[in-house]
């Protein structure tokens, strides 16, 4: 029997850890929900008159259960999807499983533009311990130069790992 994998996201002060299939960017510190539209439509990041608006940081991990001996070489990258003018995603490998509550101000952790981790060869390499990977932290930025309204295109993020 193989390992069972899900992405996990952490929210609130605890944190509250929730297994998820989606990683949405919102203006509330809440879970992503069960699709790519409902929560983003309810809690969108609007285009500012000046400067930049930010989403809450999204803190996510890989989560493994089931029967396996070891998990190693965990990676994470943005696999596909393009962003419109004025919209960027920044992220980082937290380097640990230490959680700090998400902020909606400009992240001091998620600081690497996604164009630097959007191919498998540029993936973040994450540590693993006790069924979870280290955290990846991401944040959506919407500048006043953005013009596209409504839902932006869907991004696909990919976790990779070696499993025995």
Partner 1 sequence: MEGQYNAPNTVSKVEAKLPDGGFIGYCDYEPGHIRRGHWEHIVNSHPLAFSVYTTDGQGFSVDLIDGSLNAGGEIFSVQGVPPTPLRLIYYKHMESDTGGYEPVCAYFVVGWQTTFEGRNVRLGLKVFPRERTFEVTQEI
What residue ranges bind partner 1 (CB under 8 A)?
1-3, 5, 7, 21-23, 36, 62, 67-69, 72-73, 79, 154-164
Asked if residue 129 lies in contact with residue 52, where contact means CB atoms within 8 angstroms, the answer is no
**Nearest residue (CB) to partner 1, 1 versus 49:** 1
Q: In angstroms, give the least distance from the CB of 96 to partner 1.
A: 22
Least gap, CB of 105 to partner 1 (angstroms): 25
Q: Closer to partner 1 by CB, 113 or 162: give it.
A: 162
CB of residue 78 to partner 1, shortest distance in Å: 10
Report the residue number, 54 or 64, with the smaller CB distance to partner 1.
64
Rama region for 115: left / alpha / beta (φ>0; ψ in -120 to 50; rest): alpha
Return the number of the residue (48 or 81) whose C-beta is nearest partner 1: 81
Exposure string of 71-80, with b = 16+ CB inside 10 Å and e = fewer, is: beebbbbbee
Give the dihedral of Cα atoms 28, 124, 5, 151; nearest 10 deg. 40
Q: Report d(CA 97, CA 80) in Å as an integer.
A: 26
Q: At closest approach, how far in Å is the CB of 145 from partner 1?
A: 27
* Residue 21 or 85 with smaller CB distance to partner 1: 21
Q: Determine contact, residues 27/5, Cβ cutoff 8 Å.
A: no
Min separation Cβ 52 and partner 1, Å: 24
Round to whole Å and give the CA distance between 161 and 7: 13
């Amino acid at each position: 029997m193989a390992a069972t994998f899900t992405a996990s996201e952490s929210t609130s002060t605890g944190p509250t850890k929730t297994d998820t299939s989606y990683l949405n960017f919102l203006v509330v510190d809440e879970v992503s929900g069960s699709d790519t539209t409902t929560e983003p439509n309810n809690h969108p990041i609007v285009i500012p008159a000046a400067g930049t608006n930010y989403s809450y940081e999204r803190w996510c991990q890989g989560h493994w259960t089931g029967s396996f001996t070891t998990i190693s070489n965990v990676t994470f990258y943005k696999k596909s999807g393009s962003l419109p003018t004025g919209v960027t995603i920044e992220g980082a490998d937290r380097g640990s499983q230490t959680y700090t509550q998400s902020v909606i101000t400009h992240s001091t952790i998620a600081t690497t533009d996604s164009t630097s981790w959007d191919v498998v060869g540029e993936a973040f390499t994450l540590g693993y311990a006790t069924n979870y990977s280290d955290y990846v932290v991401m944040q959506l930025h919407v500048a006043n130069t953005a013009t596209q309204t409504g839902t932006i295109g869907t991004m696909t993020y990919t976790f990779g790992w070696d499993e025995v």
